[in-house]
Amino acid sequence: MSEATIEVSGLRKRFGPRVALDGMSFTVRPGQVTGFIGPNGAGKSTTMRVILGLDKAEAGSALVGGRAYASLRQPLRHIGSLLDAAALQPGRTGRNHLLWLAYSQGLPAARVDTVLERVGLQSAARRKAGGYSLGMRQRLGIAAALLGDPPVLMLDEPFNGMDPEGIVWMRGFLRSLAVQGRAVLVSSHLMSELQDAAGHLVVVGRGKVIADASVTELLAAASGDRVTLRTTAPAEAATVLERAGAAVSADGDSGGQLTVTGLPAEQVVAMLAAAAVPFSEVSAHRASLEEAYFELTRDAAEFRAASPPGNPVTPAARANAGEATR
């Protein structure tokens, strides 16, 4: 069996005049959770539907484990997926929903009970799915994706409708799947949901990939080389540091806080100490994933509300993270 991957290359598709996919290409590798992230309408769900053979792309290819989805005999043993957790007939019980799905892959009924237990849905399994909460439907959808014990998993917005406890559970669950060596692709439009869960990120906007990097790389790029300095002698500090080639600017009204660009934190500490300039705090600035994401997708967002007053959209980190990772 070939390596468990999803390989997407050069997908193009338009719905009428609207370009949905504009050369989407990326690869999902085993052993880690890959976050598939981008604003609404960026083409995440369309890409997933193309991967599953539900929609046809006008150009490009999407392969699961090196094969086209339509050629898979028992596809759920190769890739488990969750597109829309609400997509089930309300009159059928959760267990029976999994049962027909299992039979369609030649899997035994025992497998249904195994996955129900895995997602913690045993108690509700014999109730009609129409009465499930959104969170329960998500769990049922995850159970369906796990039915064939597939090496590849692909989940579209699995955090939707989950309570905080559910979100924590989902993060741990996704990590545990990746640790087992599976390739896991999880889409979201909220970076915070993927924090601590994803090891790799594919950021998309307007139908193509904007960034494809590990979380560490993205953060480093977004953080830049900035240091925040708190001192009672800002003027002396600025003189010392500027002499060493750094750019210094004052933050806030108090004047006691400076932002230093161009020198690493250790060097700032060493130089201030050598010049006997007093300081109370030196910290390397660390961008959040949120900031990195905003920076990347600033131009790619399809729909953006008029910004409400008193809540600036522009984050502090305006570093050239986008340039760095492109």
Partner 1 sequence: MSYALRAEWTKLRTVPGTVWLLLAVVAATVLLGLVADAAASCPSGGCQLDLARTSLTGIYLSQAVIAVLAVMTIGSEYSSGMIRVTLTATPHRATVLAAKAVILTALVLVAGTVAVLGSVLVGGLILPAHGFTSAHGYLPLSLRDGPVLRAAAGSVLYLALITLLSLGIATAVREAAAGIGGVLALLYLIPIIAGIASPHWQRHLHQIAPMTAGLAIQATTSLRSMAISPWAGLGVLAAWAAAALLAAVALLRLRDA
List the interface residues with partner 1, window 9-38 (CB under 8 A): none
Residue 77 binding partner 1, by CB under 8 A: no
Give whichever of 70 and 276 is closer to partner 1, judged by the CB atom.
Answer: 70
Q: Which of 24, 42, 88, 241 contacts partner 1 by CB under 8 A? A: 88
- The two three-digit tokens of residue 138, written as one number: 């998500």
Binder of partner 1 out of 16, 17, 91, 312 (CB under 8 A): 91
The residue among 156 and 291 lying less far from partner 1, judged by its C-beta, is 156
Q: How many CA atoms lie within 13 A of 182 on its CB side?
A: 25
Report CA dihedral (162, 163, 165, 167) to the nearest 10 degrees: 40
Of the pair 93, 257, the CB lying nearest partner 1 is at 93
Q: Residue 81 CB, nearest distance to partner 1 (Å)?
A: 6
Instruction: Indicate whether 274 belongs to the interface with partner 1 (CB under 8 A).
Output: no
Positions in 99-138 near partner 1 (CB under 8 A): 99-101, 103-106
Which residues does residue 26 pair with via DSSP β-bridges, in sequence order?
8
Paired sense of beta strands 18-28 and 6-15, if any:
antiparallel
Cβ nearer to partner 1, comparing 97 with 285: 97
Query: Is residue 160 within the footprint of partner 1 (CB under 8 A)?
Result: no
Binding status of residue 257 toward partner 1 by CB under 8 A? no
Closest CA to 134 of 158, 115, 114, 102: 158
Burial annotation 19-43 (CB, 10 A radius, 16+ → b, else e): ebbbebebebebebbbbbbbbebbb
x-marked contacts with partner 1 along 34-73 as a string, rule CB under 8 A: ---------------x--xxxxx------------xx-x-
Q: What is the DSSP secondary structure assignment for residue 306, as one 8-state letter?
A: P
Count of residues of this chain found to bind partner 1 when the rule CB under 8 A is applied? 33
How far are the Cα atoms of 158, 221, 306 from residue 309, in angstroms, in the given order? 32, 30, 9
Site residues (CB under 8 A) for partner 1? 49, 52-56, 69-70, 72, 74-76, 81, 83-84, 86-93, 96-97, 99-101, 103-106, 144
